[in-house]
Amino acid sequence: MKITPTAIPDVLVIEPVVFADARGFFLETWNRRKFSEAGLDLDFVQDNHSQSVKNTLRGLHYQLQNTQGKLVRVNRGEVYDIAVDIRRSSPTFGRWVGEVVSAERCIAFDDPDLAIDWPVKDPARLILSPKDRAGKPLKTADLFP
């Protein structure tokens, strides 16, 4: 897992490592030891799943009693997830952070800048998933620093 801090110390971006092969994929969504090493020593008691259609805005929800931490995962598409620090005693009180959380990215298989020599006679006839068909060119893709 890659765990990245944000401008609010208690808000972390957690990216799983995806292990894929011909059978499909595997990823770890929860690991008490790794989360604890990142300062998240939590008693994980509930898991919720929701689906939203495009352009849905879900409010800035919170609790004063029986407080809940949030672990957000995106299986398809992307969301802009916001966290606001509402703890009056916090040095970051009133500040917010936002992260685009998305499903796995994809580079276009036929990007002319890559010029991959695919061992097929007619690459245009390949069967592609909608995600692979919508792959981005390398020059406009989100890349590692």
Q: Quick: pLDDT tens for 89-126.
A: 999 999 999 988 877 877 888 889 888 887 777 777 77
How far is 129 from 125, CA to CA, in rounded Å? 12
How far is 68 from 51, CA to CA, in rounded Å? 20
CB 97 within 8 A of CB 82: yes
CA atoms within 13 A on the CB side of 137: 7
CB 136 within 8 A of CB 107: yes
Residue 12 has pLDDT above 80, yes or no: yes
The domains of the chain are located at 2-43+72-102, 108-145
- Backbone region of residue 66 per phi and psi (left: phi > 0; alpha: psi in -120 to 50; beta: other values): left
pLDDT at 101: 85
pLDDT at 96: 93
Q: What is the pTM of this model?
A: 0.61
Is pLDDT larger for residue 29 or for residue 105?
A: 29
pLDDT at 141: 81
Nearest in space to 133 (alpha carbons), one of 109, 104, 99, 113: 109
Domain spanning 2-43+72-102, CATH architecture: Sandwich (2.60)
pLDDT at 144: 60
pLDDT at 91: 95
